[in-house]
């Protein structure tokens, strides 16, 4: 199984769910913050439970993917609207990966998965649905879950309600 195959299942949902205009076509600069769904969540006054945000830090936020590949699929990203790792300050970079490590531990505690994928799709060509706001996927994995997805590749599979995932992850996330 290649990385491409892993992400392809839910990518279509993301691509169709966000504005796909030319302003989202690249990651040359950090512009177009207004159209960014992640920035909308970052700046929203809705409760975190509704937004499926599991952690808000000074530099980094972690939230459940609204289009999860498996239950507990998390997105960890800088609070600042930047598309590339090279645009992060040292502090933002360090914090991003520190929170990613916490996210992986939390998912291990909450779901006891058989494996995990952690990674980022950088740029539209690499499969990013929202290329202008860098985000790291942390995906709990179980043996056989890809076979299942392949069978139903055109259908989005949500094995667990996002609100249930939110509860589970929040319970084990260190405060
Ligand atoms: Zn953004």
Question: What is residue 157's predicted lDDT score, i.e. its pLDDT?
Answer: 55
3-19+31-172 homologous superfamily: HIT-like (3.30.428.10)
Cα dist from 169 to 16, 54, 157, whole Å: 27, 7, 19
pTM for the predicted model, two decimal places: 0.78
Cα of 142 from ligand 1 centre, angstroms: 31
- The two structure tokens encoding residue 87: 């645009």
What sections of 18-152 are H helices per DSSP? 37-42, 48-51, 90-111, 145-151
pLDDT tens per residue across span 48-82: 999 999 999 999 999 999 988 889 999 999 999 99
pLDDT tens per residue across span 17-43: 443 333 343 443 445 777 899 999 999
SS3 state of residue 73: coil
Cα of 145 from ligand 1 centre, angstroms: 30
Cα of 144 from ligand 1 centre, angstroms: 34
The overall average pLDDT reported for the chain is 81
Cα of 131 from ligand 1 centre, angstroms: 9
Active site residue 135: yes
Cα dist from 34 to 74, 78, 81, whole Å: 23, 16, 10
pLDDT tens per residue across span 152-162: 555 555 568 89
Taking each continuous run of H as one helix and of E as one strand, the counts in the chain are 6, 5
Question: What is residue 143's predicted lDDT score, i.e. its pLDDT?
Answer: 83
Cα of 80 from ligand 1 centre, angstroms: 7
Burial of residue 11 (CB within 10 Å: 0-12, 13-18, 19+) is middle
- The two structure tokens encoding residue 128: 């990013």
């Amino acid at each position: 199984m290649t990385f491409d195959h892993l992400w392809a299942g839910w990518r279509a949902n993301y691509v169709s769910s966000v504005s796909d205009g030319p302003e989202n076509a690249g990651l040359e600069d950090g512009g177009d913050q207004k159209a960014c769904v992640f920035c909308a969540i970052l700046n929203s006054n809705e409760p975190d439970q509704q937004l499926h945000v599991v952690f808000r830090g000074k530099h980094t936020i972690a939230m459940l993917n609204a289009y999860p590949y498996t239950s507990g699929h998390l997105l960890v990203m800088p609070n600042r609207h930047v598309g590339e790792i090279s645009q992060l300050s040292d502090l933002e970079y360090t914090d991003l990966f520190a929170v990613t490590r916490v996210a992986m531990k939390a998912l291990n505690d909450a779901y006891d998965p058989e494996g995990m994928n952690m990674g980022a799709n950088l740029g539209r060509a690499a499969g990013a649905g929202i290329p202008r706001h860098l985000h790291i996927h942390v995906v709990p994995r179980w043996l056989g879950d890809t076979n299942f997805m392949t069978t139903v590749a055109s259908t989005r599979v949500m094995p667990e309600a996002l609100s249930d995932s939110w509860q589970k992850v929040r319970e084990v996330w260190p405060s």
